[in-house]
Structure 1
Amino acid sequence: MRAFLATAEEGSLSAAARALKSTQPTLGRQVAALEESLGVTLFERAGRTLTITGAGQDLLEHVQAMGDAASRISMVASGQSQDVAGTVSVTASDLFSARMMPSIIAKLREVAPGININLVASNKVENLTKRDADIAIRHVQPDQPDLIARRVADFTGNIYASTAYLDAKGRPESVDDLAIHDFIGAEDIPRLIMALAEFGFPVAPHQFRAASNSGVAMWEMMKADLGIAVLPVILCAADPLVEKVLPDHPDISFPVWLATHRELRTSRRIRIVFDTLAEALQEMH
């Protein structure tokens, strides 16, 4: 299992062998033995290139969870989580940082009171390879080859408005009724219009009466009865003054990725924060 996990995360047997301080032939035999014992193909092999299969991807999530659990058990057993100290910087969108990260940071204080968190609230895709942050929470899969990335959950979103706005403007009964409503947009409105159309929400450019590059600002404008906005279900469902505009319309799914440097394998404080973030995001999901 360790050989499979390292190969999947590192992208090749040779890189996995270096990470585990083993040899490529040894890891190759271990992965092949795992495939034989499970009766599935975990990697497609084309020359020196390995591509994880669907069966391998399904297994990977469970093996990662096993690895996280083993790491936490080891740390708790040795008291390491209490002894680890230092600062870890985490970057997330401004809305996620403001509305969801405080409770996660509180949990981190319980797990490892010696670790300080520097929260970088940014809607830019921070470059971890340039040390903009130690860990990034992203909604797109990082493509830098020297990062470790894990898809930890799939959150959902939909179109929401304040109860006061809908009382004043009327509640749409179908997507066609959206044509008379005001919308709150993100910075790239043409891209947002395309995304909304893909999910069955036809919206015209003139309907965007307000826009911002800040998720927090969009949230506050929606709360101030300025129109309809695309927002996460987890935030809106908890607010009694906010309503889903079309209650029966399917939610929009979006992934949540954690990404970090390869120091995850050697830095205890980054490992603790990464694992706690993963667990908290899965619980929220």
Structure 2
Amino acid sequence: MFDWNDLKAFLAVARGGSTLAASKTLKINQTTVARRIEALEASVGLKLFERGQTGSRLTEAGEDLLAEAERMEAAAEAFGSRASAHQRGLAGTLKVTSTEILANLAITPALGEFRQLFPDVKIDLIVSDVALDLASGEADVAIRSGIALTVSDLVARKLADFDFALYCSRDYAARRGVLVNFEDLKNHDLIGGDGSHLPLPGMRWMFERAGGVEPAHTSNSMTNLNIAVKAGLGIAPVGCLLADLDPDLIQCSEPIPELRAGSWVVTRPELKDAPRVRAFIDFIVPHFAALRRSLEAKGAAIRAEKAAAVVSFPKTA
């Protein structure tokens, strides 16, 4: 089997055209380069160069083997790069969990850029509206909304606060009218969520004010709940940032202070200083902020266009 250093000498001579040029590239003397070429030729049993006064020219066999040598060189460089990344902690798998809405809106669209910056970090995205248990290792990093982190030993970094209001579709408003006041909720179709699977304080708040009315439709998915509102199945609390972007959704109330929810990127204390974890968090926080600014600007324009369809809002006080 040939020596890897002999193969490097072969590549350097092929590219430089002479053992002298190769010696300068490899920073070894010319005699050593010539000796390595001879050792490689003896190892493979082929003459790889025609030598002359003007330098060294690849033989037919040398030309044929050059591409294979270059592939081996690329593989060796990739091996070294990945080993270096592991030494820095910027390699390996990172399990990230998020709700479907945040995964589709903010995380997945950003992963292409993250991979360009950190190609040796593999993101396993676990999409679930159910909060996974980070402490037991179900995920390394979570992006969560509306949770009480003050009683948790998790390490969290704030992303943003989000407003919620009651919304219905244009079709529903045309058929049933918009909300007059919160007492009027009992006269409307209300969309509920499966509280055993989802933390839905907004749903509880709405149904408490509706006086125990049964939901006209339920779902255990936040994404599906938003689609149910858009489909005209009734009224439900929806995040204003997304609802304002949809021309088909009509805002039925002012943002409800009790439903304002924070979003956080969360990890376990022992992982907070792991390089791949810090790299992801330091990347996603400013990305999230920029995305929010962009969506708010777009939503303001669409909200102005929808204003004519909205009558006076019921007061939250």
Q: TM-score range by the shorter chain?
A: 0.5 to 0.7
CA contact (8 A) 2:162 2:261 kept: yes
Matched, 1:280 2:287: yes
Q: Matched residue of 2:209: which SS?
A: coil
User: Judging changes above 3 Å, is the alpha-carbon distance between structure 1 residues 182 and 84 closer, same or farther for their aligned structure 2 residues?
Assistant: same
Partner amino acid for 1:177? D
Unaligned runs of 5+ in 2: 1-84, 294-317
Q: Could you report, residue by residue, the CA deviation over 1:179-230 in whole angstroms, capped at 9, with x for unpaired residues? A: 2111111112996554337xxx822333411111111221221121111111
* CA gap 1:265/1:229 in 2 versus in 1, 3 angstroms: closer
Q: Is the 8 A contact 1:222 1:228 kept in 2?
A: yes
> What is the distance in 2 between the residues matched to 1:107 and 1:185?
37
Aligned-residue RMSD, C-alpha = 3.0
Q: Quote how far apart the aligned CAs of 1:258 are.
A: 1.7
Contact kept? 1:193, 1:205, Cα under 8 Å:
no
Aligned position for 1:257: 264
Aligned pairs for 1:1-285 (under 5 A) are: 84-138=90-144, 139-142=146-149, 143-145=151-153, 147-188=154-195, 194-196=204-206, 202-246=209-253, 248=254, 250=256, 252-283=259-290, 284=292
* Aligned equivalents of 1:193, 1:153: Cα separation in 2: 21
Aligned mates of 1:222, 1:269 — CA distance in 2: 39
Structure 1 match to 2:34: none
Distance change (3 Å), C-alpha of 1:89 and 1:207: same
Question: What amino acid is the match of 1:204?
Answer: G
SS of structure 1 residue aligned to 2:135: helix
Residue 250 of structure 1 deviates from its aligned partner by 4.3
* Code of the aligned partner of 1:155: F
User: Where does residue 20 of structure 1 map in the other structure?
Assistant: none
Contact kept? 1:185, 1:192, Cα under 8 Å: no
Letter in 1 for 2:125: L
Rounded Cα–Cα distance in structure 2 between residues aligned with 1:129 and 1:104: 26
**Contact in 2 for aligned 1:193/1:203 (Cα 8 Å):** no
SS at match of 1:239: coil
TM-score normalized by structure 1?
A: 0.61
Alpha carbons 2:163, 2:255 under 8 Å: kept: no
Question: CA 1:107/1:208 → structure 2, altered by over 3 Å: closer, same or farther?
Answer: farther
Query: What displacement does 1:135 show?
Result: 0.5
**Cα distance between partner residues in 2 of 1:227 and 1:88:** 39
The answer (yes or no) to whether the contact 1:186–1:192 under 8 Å persists in 2 is: no
CA distance in 1, matches of 2:148, 2:157: 8
In structure 2, do the counterparts of structure 1 residues 232 and 113 end up closer, same or farther at CA, with 3 Å as the change threshold?
A: farther
Question: What do the CA deviations read for 1:115-150 (whole angstroms, capped 9, x no partner)?
Answer: 3322211222211111111101122134443x3222
Q: Is the 8 A contact 1:95 1:214 kept in 2?
A: no
Calculate percent identity across the aligned residue pairs.
Answer: 25
Alpha-carbon separation, structure 2, partners of 1:110 and 1:231: 34
Indicate if the aligned counterparts of 1:157 and 1:230 stay in contact, CA closer than 8 A: yes
Contact kept, 8 Å, 1:263 with 1:270, in 2: the verdict is no
- Contact kept? 2:98, 2:142, Cα under 8 Å: yes
| Cα distance in 2, alignment partners of residues 131 and 219 from structure 1 | 30
TM-score by length of 2: 0.55
Q: Which residue of 1 aligns with 2:25?
A: none
- Unmatched segments (≥5 aa) in structure 1: 1-78
**Partners in 1 of 2:141 and 2:228 — Cα distance?**
30
SS at match of 2:156: strand
